Amino acid sequence: MRYAMAIDTKKCVGCGDCVVACQTENNVPHGYCRDWIVERVDGTYPSLDLEFRSERCNHCDNSPCVRCCPTGASHIEDGGIVLVEHNKCIGCGACIQSCPYDARYSHPEGYVDKCTFCIHRVKKGQNPACVEVCPTKCLHFGDLDDPNSDVSLAIKDRKWKVLAPEAGTKPQLYFLT
Amino acid sequence: MKEELFVSGRNIPNIDPYLNIWHWQIPLYLFLGGLAAGVLFFAGYFVVRGKEKKMQATVKWAPIIAPIALVLGLGALFWDLKHKLYFWQLYTTIRLESPMGWGAWTLMIITPISFVWVASYMKEIFPWWDWKFKFLDKFEAFVIKYRVYLAWVMMIYSIILGVYTGILLSAFNARPLWNTSILGPLFLVSGFSTGLAATIWISKDEKERKILSRIDLIFIFVELFLIVHLFMGFLAGSETAIEAARLFLGGQFTVSFWVFVVLLGLIFPATLETLELWGYHVPKWLPSALILFGGFMFRFIMVEAGQITRYLY
Ligand code: SF4
Ligand code: SF4
């Protein structure tokens, strides 16, 4: 099993519903977020290229955050979801330094926190909260090993990219371009 | 034109607009670790070489700094932890892939060694010293008998400690300024140089100071060479590496790095030490103080600047 997400940058309008849904679902402290939206403008006027990206932890296959954690609090769950066990985390910040995507934050209570792919929902067979609420249906989630999953179908006939591939982390967010 | 903007959600404390999760505690921890490594290495070295009599301050007095520095360093690290009550989790796991993890274990070994070393000289330093318990006296006799072996172990662990202070940073692939293999040797050499500086400051023996100053000059020279090497490596590297180097070559850390670290922390004290060797009169504490100051600034600037460098945005 390999959970992954595909984000359709052509469909995303940057409304931020995914951000709010995540904050509500996961009780994210005020002023923090586990997912966010980047607006990228590329080119010279009048030929400009605009892209909206809903970003979060990439649940990297080769995750530096897990490798550098001195206590084992950062670990990989079944299905490749990268998680932090709060009661093992000492808040040393090593994992925050090691993430090329700045996907982690230090929770006001001390431990480090980030996107969990809503593992509590996924275990029940539901989609992550952000995927569920997206009004343009531009987020696709599922098991990459299953050719009929939503995410496999989404990346099948489309061009896609991952962010900062040169960092070598093998990210599992696929941005459809 | 290329522009990327956060349109939603992101202004996370200590992460945006740039990463700022490590403050003065980590550079202080790295500085004190390097200092202790330097002091202990040379204490061990001169015992192994049988120069104990000639190098009294290096072998007996200066090592007192080491346990103090190590305990203060660990204190700074502990201070920096956001989830302090879980500190013990560091020692319930052995994670060889994590530099932070094996650094914690290295300190766990070298700190007691430094205490034992200092304790074994207590009676020589303070003639009135009394251990009060018989078994401590026996232990002391045992340590003194096998001191040369202890010196070897101490030298090896001080090299590990010195390299570790650099590797802790260089293992972070995500920060282009840190992600270079030169950082290990560079921090080792710099740490040893601060250790020598502290020892020179303490020593009252003219001959001993001269020997130490000569060694220190070599270390400063190697350090300068490694710094040049570091920048050459960046400039021959990827775009992110070039951008990291630019912080020091015209960017916001240019003045602080070249003035405080290179000029005041290396070149100026090296000149003073050379003049002193030639017989000119130089205030004794000045070169040492400058080297120690430069050593701390070096770590402080590297930690601050490294957190700004990144792959994205
Ligand atoms: S995106 Fe960052 S936090 Fe998430 S798995 Fe990759 S390195 Fe770790
Ligand atoms: S902050 Fe917590 S999760 Fe991150 S590396 Fe340190 S102990 Fe591990």
| Interval A20-34 mean pLDDT | 95
Q: Which of A38, A44, A67 sits opposite B98 (nearest CB)?
A: A67
Name the more confident of B152 and B312.
B152
Q: What is the pLDDT of residue B49?
A: 96
CA of A173 to the centre of ligand 2 (A): 22
Looking at chain B, which residue has its C-alpha nearest residue A168?
B173
Average per-residue pLDDT in chain B?
Answer: 94
> Which domains does chain B possess?
25-308 (1.20.1630.10)
Interchain contact, A91 vs B173, CB within 8 Å? no
Q: Give the strand order in the sheet containing A47-55.
A: A47-55, A36-44, B2-8
Interface test with B, best of A76, A92, A173 (most B CBs within 10 A): A92
Per-residue confidence at B96, pLDDT binned at 50, 70, 90?
confident
To the nearest whole angstrom, how far is the Cα of A164 from the nearest Cα of chain B?
7
Q: What is the pLDDT of residue B135?
A: 92
On the CB side of A127, CA atoms within 13 Å amount to 18
Domain that holds residue A56: 3-176
Q: Which of B15, B16, B98 sits opposite A70 (nearest CB)?
A: B98
pLDDT tens by residue, B293-308: 999 999 999 999 999 9
Which residue out of A57, A65, A66, A69 has the highest number of ligand 2 atoms within 8 Å of its CB and is therefore the one to mutate? A69
Residue B7 scores a pLDDT above 90 = no
Per-residue confidence at B1, pLDDT binned at 50, 70, 90?
low
Q: Which atom of ligand 2 is found nearest the CA of A111?
A: 2
Residue B59 scores a pLDDT above 70 = yes
Interchain contact, A19 vs B8, CB within 8 Å? yes
Distance CA A22, CA A34 (A): 7
Percent of chain A's residues with pLDDT above 70? 100
Tokens describing residue B172: 């972070």
Q: What is the pLDDT of residue B132?
A: 87
Query: Which residue stretches of chain A are H helix?
Result: 17-25, 64-68, 94-98, 119-122, 129-133, 150-156
- For the domain that residue A87 is a member of, what is the CATH number? 3.30.70.20
pLDDT tens by residue, A126-152: 999 999 999 999 999 999 999 999 999
ipTM metric:
0.92
Residue B243 scores a pLDDT above 70 = yes
DSSP conformation class of B8: E
Residue B9 scores a pLDDT above 70 = no
Residue nearest atom 2 of ligand 1, based on CA coordinates: A99
Is B83 within 8 Å of A90 (Cβ atoms)?
yes
Interchain contact, B312 vs A101, CB within 8 Å? yes
Q: How many CB pairs below 8 Å do chains A and B form together?
A: 162
Q: Which of A32, A64, A73 sits opposite B173 (nearest CB)?
A: A64
Is B94 within 8 Å of B101 (Cβ atoms)?
yes
The total of structural domains in chain A comes to 1
Q: What is the pLDDT of residue B11?
A: 84
pLDDT tens by residue, A46-74: 888 899 999 999 999 999 999 999 999 99
Interchain contact, A70 vs B104, CB within 8 Å? yes
Residue found by looking up tokens 């994210």 in the block: A28
